[in-house]
Amino acid sequence: MARKILAETSYTFTPSTRTIVIPRYISRERLILITDVTTNTVIYNFSDSSLTATSYTATGGQASFGGSSGQTTIVLQFNTTSLAATDKLQIMIDEYEERFTPAETQLDPTNKMRVTTPQSLIDTDFEYSFQPTKWEFFQQQNFNASVFTSTSTAVVAATFGGAGYSLVSGFTLTVSGGTTATITGISLPSAPAVGSYIYIVDQSGNNNFSAVRYAVNAGSTASSVVLTVSTLANTTYTPQMIVFGGVAGTAANPAYAVFSTATNITSSGANLLPASPILVQDTNNEPYCDGTFVVANINQSQGAFSFFPKVNQLFNTNILQKPNTNIFVGGYYGAGYGIGSILPVSSVVVQADQRTVLVTTVNSHNFVTGAPIYAGITTTALANGPW
């Protein structure tokens, strides 16, 4: 047991009624002493019959997250009418506390408890960032280690990036006058602001939209968006993906991030492909856009690609780009993708949303939610890669 002074300053002291209300549960046998430190007067002492309480009520702790933390109401026997409600009180309680100090030989250089004999550089590694000497992710699948960290030398230099509400189908993009495009057949959560950006990733291998980013024109609404594009034939186009910068994603149409690159991302460059893992560092929207992701859509000739956010995180920011944004191709998943168990499958089917793949295995797979996998040599090209 240990004597402890409460740190709470949100208690209520009412001298006229001799009442103290403390916003936490304190059992009566644990309350030791209460002193008015403004006047140096002891107003409660558990061992003095003239300084105890005439009434003591302690109600329970919180029953749910965010609920009340309990309350203790004390009516003092001591006459406090001459004291002030603004006086500072010192409340001492007896609280169970037990500590031990490990010997120096039981601590590693960062003062963490040693649990085994040092076996690798991690025991003397003082950094806590991306490093090849550390596990970036470790999980066993069928009793085999799965994915390890791997830093790639293939760096994609981003010229700009943005994010927002995504569409892969259901829309109509019509060009008139060679430079004005209208996107219809949509129902956005809100109308994009004039001057905000629309990001278009055309079909891989095509280059109808040689640029990636286009500004929204005046007159745009949630159901019809007008923008100026490069000179195109007056017809209707169906790009691979359209992302409305600054418009929040929804469950049905989540926000995607889109980046345009200055470096070559074809097979002679970084060779970025759908399902390729990437590591993004130092963007404007750091809590959401920095980290490891899997490429979803790409156009080699545009030098553009998009990727889906992490679980329960939405890119709701129009501009993500910082001058020092770095994108490493392959910078998370190990070079040896076949490091886990090989699992025979009977079918691989892309679902109607074109984002989900249903894989049926020959035998029980024993997977857990969130386990990393690598799909290879399937006839569904976009289903191949790490997931």
Bigger pLDDT: 261 vs 365: 261
Burial of 150 (0-12, 13-18, 19+ CB in 10 A): middle
Q: How confident is the model at residue 133 (pLDDT cuts 50, 70, 90)?
A: very low
pLDDT for 360 beyond 90: no
Using alpha carbons, list the distances in angstroms from residue 98 to 1, 78, 101: 7, 34, 11
Using DSSP's 3-state secondary structure scheme, residue 144 falls into strand
pLDDT for 64 beyond 50: no
Using DSSP's 3-state secondary structure scheme, residue 106 falls into helix
Bigger pLDDT: 189 vs 157: 189
pLDDT for 313 beyond 70: no
- What φ, ψ does residue 253 adopt, rounded to 5°? -130, 80
What percent of the chain stands above pLDDT 70? 70
pLDDT for 134 beyond 50: no
Bigger pLDDT: 42 vs 292: 42
Q: What is the mean pLDDT of residues 172-196?
A: 91
Name the residue with tokens 């569904």: 380
Q: Are 18 and 25 in contact (CB under 8 A)?
A: no
Bigger pLDDT: 15 vs 386: 15
Bigger pLDDT: 82 vs 96: 82
Amino acid found at 329: V
Q: In terms of pTM, does the model score above 0.85?
A: no
Q: Phi-psi region for residue 364, left (φ > 0), alpha (ψ -120 to 50) or beta?
A: beta
Q: What is the DSSP letter of 307?
A: E
Q: What is the mean pLDDT of residues 373-385?
A: 67
Tell me how far the alpha carbon of residue 209 is from its chain's centroid.
Answer: 32
Q: Are 93 and 6 in contact (CB under 8 A)?
A: yes
pLDDT for 83 beyond 90: yes
pLDDT value at residue 47: 92
Using alpha carbons, list the distances in angstroms from residue 74 to 13, 61, 77, 87, 341: 10, 17, 10, 16, 64
Task: List, in sequence order, every residue forming a beta bridge with 22; answer none if it has no partner.
Answer: 72
pLDDT for 102 beyond 80: yes
How many CB atoms sit inside 10 A of residue 305's CB?
Answer: 29
pLDDT value at residue 42: 95
Q: Phi-psi region for residue 377, left (φ > 0), alpha (ψ -120 to 50) or beta?
A: left
pLDDT value at residue 169: 86
pLDDT value at residue 150: 45
Using DSSP's 3-state secondary structure scheme, residue 122 falls into helix
Q: What is the mean pLDDT of residues 85-89?
A: 93
pLDDT for 256 beyond 70: yes
pLDDT value at residue 335: 36
Q: What is the mean pLDDT of residues 188-206?
A: 86
Q: What is the mean pLDDT of residues 39-67?
A: 83
